[in-house]
């Protein structure tokens, strides 16, 4: 099958500098490819070259096997359609009037749209769910609706390849998903070849089977999300610190790596966190952001808190998944907690498997370290057979442990320095 798009050694640019430098790319019919890259990488220029808006200085460019330069504008409009970042007109056209323009290259100059054209327009509007908006002025629609109209306009061209230039840049997350799901349907059901420029690496990874990373007019990576969204590669291309972690379903997720705030060394402390089941996620992150040194455990390997702690480079005491905490792990946690000036207990339930973690708090308190305990519904967190956790927690409070409910209380306590020394009970 002839590829939808074939670029060979394409060079293009503006007066002084080349924006695309010998770029080669082949896109098979029916593929959905996301073009990624920092601003100025050449993504938009590539689009302009693909539609013949900007001439290529060198190289060959084939659309469905045909040399782009040999294709007349009206024919080209039936092969490639473009959805811009924002479709805007200064005049108050209705939705239907705009969608009609998708048939521009086909309609007779002398006559109104014939039934066949109207059917195509209606199908495009039905597909994008704007049929009931057809008589509404376009400028009065919401951002998501306007973008659906822009896609309907492109569909009315009945193209085989659709180019989308950051179609979701101005939309909120809900409408982003809606538009991308619509594109997904076009790709799957209508076998439309899709080329999408996106700055949202995560959504691109979520939806597109193939990512192409551009930098300085060259392709630096091309392949499935896991092969393209690599920390080393992205750091180099985007010139910033970021982290890539697989999400629950295995799709890589890119997030900026915030540097901890530089707090004077004297004010940062070493904190040991006792958590589990996601109860420590927020706290761990904020402790790291505040610059504190964090240790954590005992946790079961694979616990969401354990993953988060590892991602934050916190030292961990780990037990096998779904196993009660054994002596080896507890000893490891003891070592970690021994160096901490504070131990923080999160809103974690206690059962026979993890109740030994309370020992860490008791020992810390005895040592004179601060102990902060989340006091949210304490009586409902005791799942031990002999209800032993609750009395131990109560006696911890009696011996000087402090209750907390909100993150900022913990951070304030830690920042306040050592509390007035209290003789260990």
Give the binding site for other proteins (CB under 8 A): 48, 51-53, 73-78, 80-82, 84, 87-94, 97-98, 100-102, 104-105, 107, 109-110, 135, 139, 153, 157
Least separation, in Å, of the C-beta of 52 and other proteins?
8
Least separation, in Å, of the C-beta of 169 and other proteins?
16
**For residue 54, what are the CA distances in angstroms to 48, 50, 240?**
5, 8, 31
Least separation, in Å, of the C-beta of 145 and other proteins?
15
Nearer to other proteins, 80 or 269 (CB): 80
Q: Do β-strands 58-63 and 66-67 pair in parallel, antiparallel, or remain unpaired?
A: antiparallel
Nearer to other proteins, 92 or 366 (CB): 92
**For residue 218, what are the CA distances in angstroms to 18, 182, 193?**
11, 30, 22
Q: In this structure, what is the dihedral angle of CA atoms 226, 7, 163, 161, given to the nearest 10 degrees?
A: -100
Nearer to other proteins, 67 or 75 (CB): 75
Pairwise CA distance, residues 231 & 104, whole Å: 45
Nearer to other proteins, 93 or 383 (CB): 93
Nearer to other proteins, 49 or 396 (CB): 49
Cis, peptide link before residue 197, omega less than 30° from 0: no
Reported as type and span, the H/E element at residue 10 is strand 5-13
Nearer to other proteins, 133 or 329 (CB): 133
DSSP-derived 3-state class of residue 148 = helix
Least separation, in Å, of the C-beta of 80 and other proteins?
8
DSSP-derived 3-state class of residue 301 = coil
Least separation, in Å, of the C-beta of 89 and other proteins?
4
Reported as type and span, the H/E element at residue 317 is strand 315-319
Least separation, in Å, of the C-beta of 85 and other proteins?
11
């Amino acid at each position: 099958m002839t590829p939808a798009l074939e670029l060979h050694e394409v060079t293009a640019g503006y007066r002084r500098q080349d924006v695309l430098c010998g770029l080669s790319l082949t896109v098979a019919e029916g593929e959905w490819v996301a073009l990624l890259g920092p601003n100025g990488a050449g993504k938009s220029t590539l689009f302009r070259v693909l539609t013949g808006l900007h001439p290529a200085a060198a190289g060959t460019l084939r659309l469905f096997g045909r040399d782009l330069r040999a294709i007349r504008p009206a024919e080209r409009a039936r092969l490639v359609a473009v959805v811009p970042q924002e479709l805007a007109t200064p005049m108050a056209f209705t939705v239907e009037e705009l969608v009609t323009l998708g048939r521009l290259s086909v309609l007779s100059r002398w006559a109104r749209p014939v039934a066949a054209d109207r059917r195509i327009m209606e199908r495009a509007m039905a597909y994008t769910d704007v049929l009931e908006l057809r008589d509404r002025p376009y400028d009065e629609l919401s951002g998501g609706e306007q973008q659906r109209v822009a896609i309907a306009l492109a569909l009315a061209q009945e193209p085989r390849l659709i180019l989308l230039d950051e179609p979701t840049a101005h939309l909120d997350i809900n409408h982003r998903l809606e538009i991308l799901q619509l594109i997904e349907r076009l790709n799957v059901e209508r076998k439309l070849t899709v080329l999408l420029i996106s700055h949202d690496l995560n959504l691109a990874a979520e939806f597109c089977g193939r990512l192409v990373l551009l930098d300085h007019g060259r392709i630096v990576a091309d392949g499935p999300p896991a092969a393209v969204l690599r920390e080393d590669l992205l750091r180099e291309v985007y010139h910033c610190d970021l982290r890539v972690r697989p999400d629950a379903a295995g799709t890589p997720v890119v997030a900026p790596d915030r540097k901890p705030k530089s707090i004077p060394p004297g004010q940062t402390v070493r904190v040991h966190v006792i958590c589990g089941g996601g109860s420590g996620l927020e706290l761990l992150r904020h402790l790291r952001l505040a610059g504190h040194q964090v240790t954590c455990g005992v946790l079961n390997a694979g616990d969401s808190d354990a993953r988060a702690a590892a991602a934050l480079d916190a030292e961990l005491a780990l037990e096998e998944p779904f196993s009660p905490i054994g002596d080896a792990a507890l000893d490891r946690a003891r070592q970690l907690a021994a160096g901490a000036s504070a131990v923080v207990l999160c809103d974690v339930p206690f059962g026979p498997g993890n109740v030994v973690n309370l020992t860490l708090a008791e020992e810390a308190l005895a040592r004179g370290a601060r102990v902060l305990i989340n006091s949210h519904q304490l009586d409902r967190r005791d799942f031990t057979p002999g209800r032993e956790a609750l009395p131990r927690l109560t006696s911890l409070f009696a011996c000087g442990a402090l209750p907390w409910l909100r993150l900022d209380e913990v951070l304030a306590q830690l920042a306040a320095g050592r509390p007035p020394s209290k003789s260990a009970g």
